[in-house]
Chain A
């Protein structure tokens, strides 16, 4: 099956700093989503972005499907940004299964 690799695995930032999270995938995809998992376990949708660039407030994402990677940018980080960020991809014939990476664990300190 498709491989999804996220980097870095862990990240510690001071409040106000910027960061870039990366997601590499091993095959073509027809769906890519970024999620933030809060401390209670809920997966919060950040972006549905199989290709192109999107922005939502301090967050933005870019997917370059032809080169098989996606980037999530967090600007002016806040302590509430802490948690685990997952990239998940779906192949065309997967039965609509999302394949998740192992996540990037982010801690933003005051």
Chain B
């Protein structure tokens, strides 16, 4: 079975641009979460979606938004990119409660 898949794996943007990151959960998993990991730190929670509804939001500005589709895949959107948005963006899925499984991440560089 495929694990959590994310795309793109690497991307470079310039300040002020917009970015969309995509995530497909493990088959059968209805919950998707997004995390941001800056260099040298642990991942920080951004959003959690379950059955297409936002169930949790971390301490991130409104420039960050997300959505979940009927097939349970998800997109993370970041507007008006700042240099500080450079990070590894991780998507995770879970079946119901319990164990989270992470994808390989999308590494974003903002110049």
Which among B12-20, B54-62, B70-78 touches the partner chain? Answer: B54-62
Q: Give which listed residue, B33, B97, B103, contacts A31 with CB less than 8 A.
A: B97
Q: Give which listed residue, B41, B45, B100, B103, contacts A99 with CB less than 8 A.
A: B45
Summarize B's interface: helix, strand, loop or mixed. strand
How many residues on the B side are at the interface (Cβ–Cβ under 8 A)?
Answer: 29
Summarize A's interface: helix, strand, loop or mixed. loop
Q: How far is the CB of A20 from chain B (nearest CB, A)?
A: 19
Interface residues of B (CB under 8 A from A): 31, 33, 35, 37, 41-45, 48, 50, 55-58, 88, 90, 92, 94, 97-105, 107
Interface residues of A (CB under 8 A from B): 30-31, 33, 35, 40-43, 45, 48, 86, 88, 94-103
**Given A43-B102, A98-B45, 13 other A-B residues pairs in contact with their CB atoms under 8 A:** A41-B88, A42-B102, A45-B99, A45-B102, A48-B98, A86-B42, A96-B50, A97-B48, A97-B58, A98-B100, A100-B43, A102-B41, A102-B42
